[in-house]
Amino acid sequence: MLFRVRTYGQYCAMAKGLDVIGDRWTLLIVRELLLSGPSRYSQLQNGLPGIASNLLADRLRDLETAGVVARANGDVVLTERGRALEPVMRAIGRWGAPLLARATSADVFQSHWLALPLGELLTDHTPAKPPQTLELRTGDEPLTVVVGRGVVRIRPGRATEPDAVMTGPGQHILPVLAGRVPLAKAHGVRVTGDRGVLRRVVPRA
Amino acid sequence: MLFRVRTYGQYCAMAKGLDVIGDRWTLLIVRELLLSGPSRYSQLQNGLPGIASNLLADRLRDLETAGVVARANGDVVLTERGRALEPVMRAIGRWGAPLLARATSADVFQSHWLALPLGELLTDHTPAKPPQTLELRTGDEPLTVVVGRGVVRIRPGRATEPDAVMTGPGQHILPVLAGRVPLAKAHGVRVTGDRGVLRRVVPRA
DNA sequence: CCGCATCCGGGGCGATACTG
DNA sequence: CAGTATCGCCCCGGATGCGG
């Protein structure tokens, strides 16, 4: 029952922010809540491989007193203040994206982590065409890309009747979807169905 | 002479980014370099009250191997990759700004920390008027606001012939410049010279 | 002085075991 | 399932030392 005193003690907005979100694992917990919505304790644990259970409990307490998360009948939910962290996470993600190139095979991969970058990366180049869906079978669970009316949305789970299905390890799927590696040269990546969906959403080189 | 092994081990851009900039003090070091430009070791130490000397040395080494900073004849300088962290810091600063309201008097204050928020906050409401300067005497050193042609720029040091001079503690000056507290109600804040400069740059309520 | 390196005490962190 | 308890280890903070 010790109180958090670890502060930079600076009258500076950045330092004050880091006093709250600067601890290890904290921002990744917020990431999980942003990607998965209201979550159970064990669900968070699954999305944060390697975190110690006591650390998760500590962080959730800290975030609760800081007003970043709240509890709703057993679920952990982001508050308004917590959702306001999305720009911070997007900025860090954009900055960290180049580091993925040096990722090792020891890195864990969960497909829902792709939701944020893909949402920024993919665009609808032919908004006039009827909506289409692309199912990604990668990582621990499938992911569905819905494109139409100029909007690209990412959803967890599989599509009911996907126009195309992409299969392969996340480390090779992402460069293809980023338009940096042509599909033919991506090892272990296979696409069935209408490849026009890919051309529709992948950023032009 | 231990090697960096502390990684989240996740194939996720955010996690990869936090592997580099997630350690304590790291982002504040980058803040100092962004605000003050190429700096000496001791200058960084002054801008980071409370940091241990060995920690600063460790972090600089880590940042150097990560390609965020470099050494130029004794000076520590941000690389291109380091300057790319500016959006991250601005996002954290914006998120942390509301926390300044609960700041304690024990917090240290250095005036150059105001440069980033003021640059975002202040605007030139009358771009047609000739340029003007506002000198802020607060914290450890004066700060100069230059406004003209629709642009607001913040510089360290005093102005040669300021149109107005604002004096007072940083904790009270900032709310005034943010337009949240009227000048008359800000204790310890005094303005000499042309107050029109204030009306020119302070955001309208 | 400046730029660290070294040493040391305390606590944050990581892994595992345990409990209501 | 949702945490708590415990125990090393190593990170962090503070002080001091030391070569250039």
Q: What distance in Å separates the CA atoms of residue B171 and residue B189, rounded to the nearest whole number?
A: 10
Spatial distance between the Cα atoms of A192 and A183, rounded to a whole number of angstroms: 12
Give chain B positions within 8 Å (CB) of A94.
Answer: 13, 87
B3/C10 CA-to-C1' distance in Å: 23
- Residue B19's Cβ-side half-sphere holds a number of Cα atoms within 13 Å equal to 23
By CB neighbour count within 10 A (0-12 exposed, 13-18 middle, 19+ buried), where does B106 fall?
A: exposed
Strand partners, A191: A166
A residues 5-64 lying closer than 8 A (beta carbon) to B: 8-22, 24, 27-28, 31, 49-50
- Nearest by CB to residue B89, choosing from A10, A14, A84, is A14
Q: Give residue B2's pLDDT.
A: 47
Closest nucleotide over all strands to A44 (CA to C1'): D2
Closest by alpha carbon to A134, among A114, A110, A160? A160
Helix (H, G, I), strand (E, B), or coil: what is residue B196?
helix
Q: What is the pLDDT of residues A90-100, one digit of tens each?
A: 999 999 999 99
Share of chain A above pLDDT 90, in %: 85
**pLDDT tens-digit readout, A132-161:** 999 999 989 999 999 999 999 999 999 999
Q: Say what the pLDDT of residue B106 is.
A: 87
Q: What whole-number distance in Å separates Cα of residue B49 and Cα of residue B45?
A: 7
Q: What pLDDT band is residue B4 in, cutting at 50, 70 and 90?
A: low
Q: How many CA atoms lie within 13 A of A130 on its CB side?
A: 1
Query: Looking at CA atoms only, how far is residue A123 from chain B in angstroms?
Result: 19
Q: What distance in Å separates residue A130's CA from the closest CA in chain B?
A: 32
Q: Which of A146, A141, A157, A160 is nearest to A201 (CA)?
A: A146
Where would I find the H helices in chain B? 13-21, 26-36, 41-47, 53-65, 80-83, 86-96, 115-121, 170-177, 196-201
Say if residue B194's pLDDT is above 90.
yes
Query: Nucleotides of chain C within 7 Å of a protein C-beta?
Result: 1-7, 12-17
State the pLDDT confidence band at B3, using cuts at 50, 70 and 90.
low
In this predicted structure, the answer to whether residue A14 has a pLDDT above a threshold of 90 is yes
pLDDT recorded at residue B104: 87
pLDDT of residue A204: 78
Phi, psi of A126 (to 5 degrees): -130, 75
Is pLDDT above 50 for A2? Answer: no
Mark yes or no for CB contact A96/B17 under 8 Å. Answer: yes
Q: How far is the CA of A147 from the C1' of D3 (A)?
A: 41
| Structure confidence at residue A7 (pLDDT) | 93
The letter for the amino acid at A94 is R
* CA of A127 vs chain B CAs: smallest distance (Å): 28
- pLDDT given at position B174: 93
Provide the positions of strand D that have an atom within 7 A of a protein CB: 1-6, 11-17
Chain A 109-138, CB below 8 Å of chain B: which residues? Answer: 109-110, 113, 116-117
Would the pLDDT of A52 be above 90?
yes
Count CA atoms closer than 13 A to A160's CA, side-chain side: 0
Q: Which residue is nearest to nucleotide D3 (CA to C1')?
A: A57
pLDDT score recorded for residue B1: 45
For the CA of A199 and the C1' of C13, the distance in angstroms is 46
Tokens in use for B188?
A: 């310890």
Q: What is the pLDDT of residue A105?
A: 83
Tell me: the pLDDT tens digits for B91-117?
999 999 999 998 888 899 999 999 999
Per-residue pLDDT reduced to its tens digit, A153-204: 999 999 999 999 999 998 899 999 999 999 999 989 999 999 999 999 998 7
Show Cβ contacts of residue B123 under 8 Å, excluding neighbours closer than 6 positions.
B152, B201, B203
Write the DSSP assignment of A25-61 as a string of letters: THHHHHHHHHHH-SB-HHHHHHHSTT--HHHHHHHHH
Name the band, by pLDDT with cuts 50, 70 and 90, for residue B204: confident
Q: What does the pLDDT read at residue A4? A: 60
Q: What is the pLDDT of residues B166-184, one digit of tens each?
A: 999 988 999 999 999 999 9
Tell me which residue in A22, A27, A93 faces B13 most closely, judged by beta carbons: A93
Provide the CB-side half-sphere exposure for B111 (13 A, CA).
22
Q: Does B67 touch chain A (CB under 8 A)?
A: no
A5: pLDDT strictly greater than 90: no
Give the number of beta-carbon pairs within 8 Å between A and B.
Answer: 162
* Residue A21 predicted with pLDDT over 80: yes
User: Which residue's C-alpha is at the least distance from the C1' of D4?
Assistant: A54
Nucleotide minimizing C1' to CA distance for residue B25: D12
Minimum Cα–Cα distance from A31: chain B residue = B14
3 state DSSP class of A69: strand
Distance, in Å, from the CA atom of B119 to the CA atom of B99, rounded to the nearest integer, reads 19
